[in-house]
Structure 1
Amino acid sequence: MGLIAEFRLAGEDLALVDVAAGVPEATVEFESVGAAPSGPPEFVVRTVGASREAVEAAFAAADSVTDHSLVVADGDARRYQCRPTGGPPEGLEALANNRSVPDRVTVTPEGWTERRWFADREEFDAFRDFCRTNDYTFRLDRLVEVDDGDGARDAEEPGPFGALDGDSPGPPGMTEPQREALVLAHEMGYFDVPRTASTADVAEELGVTPASCSERLRRAQSHLVAQFRNADSHIKPRMD
């Protein structure tokens, strides 16, 4: 069984974040990363929604990438080649055999928003640990298990709240701290059987007290159950 993870990365030295900050009106996406015989890899980056002058000024002012060059232009969509500056992240060799494939990587002024396929939970954990070892803030937005057969649930199917799950930060009524606690608890194994993380573990990661964490999780789960109850007319209220 594989996994589809949707997550956000933030960090001071993430490539292209300074480019995105220079043209906040544009969409900046990775199209490919190619290995070079020596030195840093080559990025192919697609930009949409800003003038050529503005995009190239942002590339020229950026410290995170160098050697940018226009490859092709189609209207306001352009593809550039560039290279990251600086050395490789610590422990990069640990990901040499990681069975994961990036599906979409969007760069924003705050960091990267990524959707990636993983072979299993072990590979996901290795990737997440690598990010955190290199001081990248890793925030999981969605983790979906998929089968290899016809019964796989596509990650873009409408969710139980009537829209694609990725379209909004959480169910109606759920606060951002509640959503963050719920997603982090799922990521850490709080809901696994057997449980691999305690309330105290999740609280420590969030930087709050166990009591506060417990309250957030209970309220978040209450919102989820209420939304499922409202979305499924086949669930009948209990009558005593």
Structure 2
Amino acid sequence: MGLIAEFRMTSKELPLVDVAEGVPDATVEFESVQGRPSGAPTFIVRIVDADADAIEAAFADADSVTDHSLIVADGATRRYRCRPTGGPPTELELLADNGSIPDRVLATPSGWEERRWFADREEFDQFRTFCRANDYGFRLDRLVETDEGSDGRATGPFGTSDRSWPREMTDAQREALVTAHEMGYFDTPRAATMADVADELGVASASLSERLRRAQNHLVTEFRRTSGIKPRTN
């Protein structure tokens, strides 16, 4: 038995909130946080639907992160590397033994919107205590128990569904994933390019790339949930 929590943390002090303020109509999403033996971690951030100059201006004006650099640009999606400024949050020891897993973290002009997996209510309460200790406003939107039903179907925040497809995968993402597989996009060596699959589906390569990334993310999330594997901490 586990918990999936969807919540909002409100604070102007959270990293990337000031960047999101500079591009209010864009999606600003954490893709990963890479720890380092010493010093601040490195953020990999995905920004969608924002002008490149506007993003650069937002980073330049931001105080919460530093040393930003563009990793790759693919159509409307741009990925950046940056580091948070300032010291670590207080009461960090409260999270030392917390095994929760972030599933999605979005930076918004008012804070973070997050979906996170918790092993039990104790882990959830521990995380919420950490937020309050650091003066982060915490608004819970949804808290749902999740487990494996006796009929082999998964129950969770999006209802009961056949486990052969992860929850939230759209029809377009599913079609992109299956078509790419059938055309040999995932073969080694590849039998089809991104452009080949995009032409088959009648979409732009950038749109296909986004659909495949989200579809693969859902697959990995579902595998992680059912296998009990947690991410590396170093």
Alignment of 1:156-175 (within 5 A): 156-157=158-159
Structure-2 residue corresponding to 1:85: 85
Structure-2 residue corresponding to 1:15: 15
Structure-2 residue corresponding to 1:155: 157
CA shift digits 1:172-228 (9 cap, x unpaired):
xxxxxxxxxxxxxxxxxxxxxxxxxxxxxxxxxxxxxxxxxxxxxxxxxxxxxxxxx
Residue identity in the other structure for 1:92: L
CA shift digits 1:86-133 (9 cap, x unpaired):
000001122122110000111110110000000000000000000000
Unaligned runs of 5+ in 1: 159-163, 165-240
Distance 2:113 2:28 in 1: 11
Residue identity in the other structure for 1:54: A
Report the 3-state secondary structure (helix = DSSP H, G, I; strand = E; otherwise coil) of the residue aligned with 1:55: helix
Distance 2:124 2:148 in 1: 17
Whether 2:132 is the aligned partner of 1:122: answer: no
Report the 3-state secondary structure (helix = DSSP H, G, I; strand = E; otherwise coil) of the residue aligned with 1:125: helix
Report the 3-state secondary structure (helix = DSSP H, G, I; strand = E; otherwise coil) of the residue aligned with 2:155: coil
Report the 3-state secondary structure (helix = DSSP H, G, I; strand = E; otherwise coil) of the residue aligned with 1:20: helix
Report the 3-state secondary structure (helix = DSSP H, G, I; strand = E; otherwise coil) of the residue aligned with 2:156: coil
Structure-2 residue corresponding to 1:139: 139
Report the 3-state secondary structure (helix = DSSP H, G, I; strand = E; otherwise coil) of the residue aligned with 1:147: strand
Unaligned runs of 5+ in 2: 161-166, 168-234
Structure 1 runs of 4+ off > 6 angstroms? none
Shift of 1:154: 2.6
Report the 3-state secondary structure (helix = DSSP H, G, I; strand = E; otherwise coil) of the residue aligned with 1:38: coil
Relative to structure 1, is the Cα distance of residues 76 and 151 closer, same or farther in structure 2, using a 3 angstrom cutoff? closer
Whether 2:91 is the aligned partner of 1:97: answer: no
Aligned residues: 159
Distance 1:100 1:131 in 2: 14
TM-score by length of 1: 0.64
Distance 1:91 1:100 in 2: 16
Distance 1:52 1:36 in 2: 28
* Contact 2:12–2:18 (CA under 8 A) maintained in structure 1: no
* Contact 2:7–2:115 (CA under 8 A) maintained in structure 1: yes
* Contact 1:2–1:148 (CA under 8 A) maintained in structure 2: no
Residue identity in the other structure for 2:21: A
Residue identity in the other structure for 1:155: P
Distance 1:130 1:72 in 2: 34
Distance 1:44 1:93 in 2: 24
Distance 1:148 1:10 in 2: 33
Shift of 1:148: 4.4
* Root mean square deviation, CA, Å: 1.5
Shift of 1:156: 2.2
Structure-1 residue corresponding to 2:177: none
Shift of 1:11: 1.2
Alignment of 1:161-200 (within 5 A): none
* Contact 1:30–1:45 (CA under 8 A) maintained in structure 2: yes
CA shift digits 1:122-161 (9 cap, x unpaired):
0000000000000000000000001145354132238xxx
Rg comparison, structure with higher value? 1
Report the 3-state secondary structure (helix = DSSP H, G, I; strand = E; otherwise coil) of the residue aligned with 1:81: strand
Structure-2 residue corresponding to 1:5: 5
Residue identity in the other structure for 1:120: D
Distance 2:109 2:48 in 1: 15
Structure-2 residue corresponding to 1:215: none
Distance 1:76 1:119 in 2: 36
Distance 1:139 1:101 in 2: 18
Report the 3-state secondary structure (helix = DSSP H, G, I; strand = E; otherwise coil) of the residue aligned with 2:14: coil
